[in-house]
Chain A
Amino acid sequence: MSVNPVAKLGAALLLSLCLILTIDWVSAAVALGLELLLFLALRPAVSGFWRRTAAVWIAAPLTAVTIALYGQPSGTVYAEFLFARVSEGSVTLAIATFLRVLAIGLPAVVLFVTIDPTELADGLAQRVHLPVRFVLGALAGMRLVGLFLDDWKYLALARRARGVADRGRVRRLGGQAFALLVLSIRRGSALATAMEARGFGSSTPRSWARDSPWRAREWAALGTGLAVGLTAIAAAIAAGTWNFIVG
């Protein structure tokens, strides 16, 4: 079942914005639990789930370590060295941070994997009514990604053949990245001429080749994201662990 990419983006944003309001383990754990239930119930097709979410699984414990060392100290102090102070309070905050990073990061990966940039641009222009020229210009830039990857390969081959920068990996990468930037700007300028020739910049009303549908399921997606976030907040308030991020 395909959902408008704008709804996926909106659901992930609503959920995340609810979760960042508080730093406590109850809200994060409740959100994570509900997300797991939804994941098991809906079984979204995500190829390579573990590879794609690897960054989240690594970032969560590392952020937690930082907070355990440098979080607001309170209660018993377990260890102290240099500027770091591991205390009862900072460990509690670290656990909350760990769960929160997972609860924010995991659903976003699952929701974003299936987003097609073209459909997203259609939705942003037709449904959110963002400035059309900018949305379509950005999409045109996005479409060049495949070419960039080819350019990168040819640049490497050409530089190898010419014997340029055979040694020094960092310098070679830097030089090649700059060459790619030059190529991409030249390509962009040429593309702009072509788009302008076809009337891209004109102010005549635009018609759309693809319709971007907005049905009940899009509202349902947004509602689900918000509901999970609000349930987490309600659970935290009920459990008395609500801990607003500022102050």
Chain B
Amino acid sequence: MSASTTIPTSRFTWRVVDIVVASVVGVASGLLFVVWNIASVPVTDPLKALLPGLQALGGGFWLFAGPLTALIVRKPGAALFGELIAAVVSALVGNQWGALTLLSGAVQGLGAEIVFAAFLYTNWRLGVALLAGAGAGLAMAITDLIVWYPGSDTLFVTVYTISGVVGGALIAGLLSWLAVRGLARTGALSRFAAGREIATRV
């Protein structure tokens, strides 16, 4: 066999398994988004519509795809890719945000991506996961306030932004980190650094 078929490997190159598993996680997250979309509209939205911005706390449920994908595959662009795939699934099934779901997905993914990039894609611990969730939350607050609530007053803007950051850190950051730890324990991540680090021998 000639050696020319070997692909140069670096910590930052995406292997096929990275791409496919990131896609699968993105699609699965997108299906969960669809469940939230359907569940949230008639159940909690009428109540949330009356709140002065606190509704952004629950927005974290639409943010976890990015941090979760990044924590699993640990590649540059993973947060953006995962969140974008989830947004495409959510938009194609049909939701109240239409084509702008893709804009939101891209911006929220970037919000988490920037945090992982700031740590040069070397730190995947809880602190960074929380920051990435908060970054996604901040990105969500900025797009939502500009695109959907442009007429809101200062109090609403402040409360919405803080709620978005806190909700993002707790739901998208903490929950994703816990999920990845649990996944690693099952051995499902045996082909990823994330899995080899934590997996315990049985």
* A contacts, CB < 8 Å to B: 9, 12-13, 15-17, 20, 23, 52-56, 58-60, 62-63, 65-67, 69-73, 82-85, 90, 93-94, 96-97, 101, 104-109, 112-113, 115, 117, 120, 133-134, 137-142, 144-145, 148, 177-178, 180-182, 184-189, 191-193, 195-196, 200-203, 245-246
Contacts and interface: CB of A to CB of B under 8 A. Distances in A.
A108 B94 CA distance: 8
A96 B95 CA distance: 20
Q: Which of B15, B24, B53, B88 has the most CB of A within 10 A?
A: B24
Nearest to A124: B88
Contacts of A182: 183, 186, 188
A54 B42 CA distance: 10
Interface stretch (B115-123, B143-151, B164-172): B143-151
Contact of B20 (A13, A178, A195): A195
Interface of B is mostly: helix
B28 interface: yes
Chain B, interface size category, equals 35 or more
Contacts of B24: 141, 144, 184-185, 187-188, 191
Contacts, number: 207
B20 A140 contact: yes
A185 B55 CA distance: 32
Contacts of A178: 179, 182
A153 B153 CA distance: 47
A144 B179 CA distance: 21
Contacts of A139: 23
